[in-house]
Amino acid sequence: MSAEFDLFVIGAGSGGVRAARFAAGFGARVAIAESRYLGGTCVNVGCVPKKLLVYGSHYREEFEQAAGYGWTVDGARFDWARLIAGKNREIARLNEAYRRLLLEAGVQLLEGHARILDAHTVELGGARYRTKQLLIATGSWPQRPEIPGAELGITSNEAFFLPALPPRVLVVGGGYIAVEFAGIFRGCGAQVCLLHRGEQLLRGFDSGLREQLALELRQRGIALEFGVQPQGIERRPDGSLATTLADGRVLASDCVLFATGRRPMLDGLGLEQLPLARDARGYLAVDAGYQTSVPGVHALGDVIGRVPLTPVALAEGMALARRLFRPQEFQPVDYQGIPTAVFSQPSLATVGLSEEAARAAGHRLKIFESRFRPMKLSLTESPERSYMKLVVDADSDRVLGCHLLGPEAGEIMQGLAVALTAGASKRQFDQTLGIHPTLAEEFVSLRAPVRTDS
């Protein structure tokens, strides 16, 4: 045996790193193993590089709007390869920052593929490690649909490393990744078609947001095809791709991006050695304290499939470290009212219940909403409209949900999330003075409900 630990973590993504650092801070002997890249999906092929590409893609629109404010922008050119190179440098910096965080916390970092031999033994690089507690935090991996020619398409993983901007992109999917990359490619100058099997984007979000986003994407020149699915992809002699749809049509493109879901990344971990229970989707089943069906083996983050968001994985990692090594401080993660943002163009953000979810939960509702032109666009020819909604319990006056489509939606929604966590009422929203002139002040200026349940 090479060493013995109190906690051995497999996977140095958001949740794994947080659990390892906090556990080490509580005095535990901790090791963490990573076979790909420090920081996991979020840092390398997820939230961080995606936001950088979103920033890059926004400049085209900014240049167009600048004329309304007296600016003439001549000779502006876009270089995709330069954007990707800059993104790569920033991600490399963050990889090293994660390395320093782990080492400074006293965590032993093991780089290589870890394989589980039993609930307390892990093998890596020919060495075996004993541990009292084992944590699986290996995240998830994008899936391709099982259709002929699926290998000709790419996933979000590969999209971050494309050597050049494809002139025509077909995006397949209707969730976060699909709408975000559709905006990125379109903003950078590509022709984009988004293909989705459902009747509307972003399942689970408030219907008002979904409808307004679809309108805005179309106004930006993104073609939306709903209620259809690809049946196969072929490579044409000129190198382009021909995607056949279920209705018989054939769409031509230079790149097909599959944003069709993710699966738990459990390949090659040796889980055949452990009778770990899984849910119907294949994710590891855990209790409220992230204990799997095998004592001493824990799991969290995307691998358990609860809420696949980085802040949730961070909270789960902190909670597990406390449960194992500071049990008097343990508090379970509250999965209700989690704020989230989609960095579509325009962006949207939400916290709390949608109108549909609130009504299904039995609440009698008052709905406040507004559509208007953002002030920044008042001197431009942009037809973009912002949309906001408050979902209020008509009996208690408590605000159940806040929803926004518009500039800096995520930044605005973070503050509103604090208000909802504190149980704010609509009356308290009304009593709050706005910051003028801002988009955010509209949330405290909505006075008359557009509809009230009887």
- Just list the catalytic residues: 436
What's the Cα-to-Cα distance from 188 to each of 55, 61, 164, 220, 270, rounded to whole Å?
10, 10, 11, 12, 43
- Give the whole-angstrom CA distance, residue 189 versus residue 192: 9
Determine the straight-line distance between the first and last CA of the chain, rounded to whole angstroms: 69
Q: Degrees (nearest 5) of the Cα angle 242, 219, 65?
A: 120
Query: Which run of H or E residues covers position 436?
Result: none
- Give the whole-angstrom CA distance, residue 139 versus residue 316: 13
- Give the whole-angstrom CA distance, residue 106 versus residue 158: 34
Q: Which residues pair with 331 in a beta bridge?
A: none
User: Taking Cα atoms as reference points, which of 96, 95, 53 lies closest to residue 78?
Assistant: 53
> Are the beta carbons of 349 and 341 closer than 8 angstroms?
yes
What's the Cα-to-Cα distance from 263 to each of 23, 171, 282, rounded to whole Å?
28, 19, 8
Q: In the chain, helix, strand, coil percent, each to 5? A: 35, 25, 40
> Are the beta carbons of 160 and 180 closer than 8 angstroms?
no
Label residue 30 exposed, middle or buried (CB < 10 Å: 0-12, 13-18, 19+): buried
**Six-digit token pair at 133?**
């507690």
Q: Which residues pair with 352 in a beta bridge?
A: 401
